[in-house]
């Protein structure tokens, strides 16, 4: 029986609101590709870009690993949060000694907030009907 080769990439899954990201991490030059596009072309605001880079900056892995992510569902903010969690989980699997830094900055904690469902008899989740005096 031959020894199984260790894969040259690490997977991480991230979720936020209704967005799901499958992130693949490899050692490389620091290229970040999301849904086949560069991160700068996919996430247009600084907040979403900084969210994606947060786990890499915290662990000083910027420029050392390549990130390939497939994201579906949600909007830009939810998708960037999902990619952030996916990168953090992949980095934890990549090297266990990075976990305290990631956990200390709450990058491994899933944000469980979702949209509350609409209830019958109301205009939204909580908004009632307009009061009429007559």
Whole-number average pLDDT of the chain: 91
For the segment(s) 9-104, the CATH number from 3.40.50.10860, 3.30.230.10, 3.30.43.10, 3.40.50.300 is 3.30.230.10
**What's the helix, strand, coil split of the chain in %, to 5?**
35, 20, 45
Is the separation of the CB atoms in 88 and 53 below 8 Å?
no
Helix (H, G, I), strand (E, B), or coil: what is residue 8?
Answer: coil
Q: If pLDDT is split at 50, 70 and 90, which confidence band does 1 have?
A: very low
In the chain, where the domains are located: 9-104
Task: State what percent of residues in the chain have pLDDT above 90.
Answer: 81
Q: What would the two tokens of residue 81 be?
A: 């949060």
User: What are the phi and psi torsion angles at 11 (to 5°)?
Assistant: -100, 150
* pLDDT given for residue 134 in this prediction: 83
Burial of 80 (0-12, 13-18, 19+ CB in 10 A): buried
Q: Where are the extended beta strands (E) located within 28-98?
A: 32-34, 37-38, 65-72
* pLDDT given for residue 8 in this prediction: 83
User: What are the phi and psi torsion angles at 47 (to 5°)?
Assistant: -60, -45
Per residue in 57-107, pLDDT (tens digit) is: 999 988 899 999 999 999 999 999 999 999 999 999 988 888 999 999 999
């Amino acid at each position: 029986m031959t020894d199984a080769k260790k894969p040259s990439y690490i997977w991480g899954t991230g979720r936020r609101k209704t967005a799901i990201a499958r992130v693949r991490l490899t050692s490389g030059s620091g290229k970040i590709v999301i849904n086949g596009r560069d991160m700068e072309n996919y996430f247009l605001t600084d907040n979403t870009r900084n969210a994606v880079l947060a786990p890499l900056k915290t662990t000083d892995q910027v420029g050392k690993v390549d990130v390939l992510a497939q994201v579906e569902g949600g909007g830009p903010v939810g998708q960037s949060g999902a990619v952030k969690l996916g990168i953090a989980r992949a980095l934890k699997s990549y090297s266990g000694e990075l976990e305290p830094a990631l956990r200390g900055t709450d990058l491994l904690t899933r944000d469980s907030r979702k949209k509350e469902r609409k209830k019958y008899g109301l205009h939204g989740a909580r908004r009632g009907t307009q009061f009429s005096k007559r």
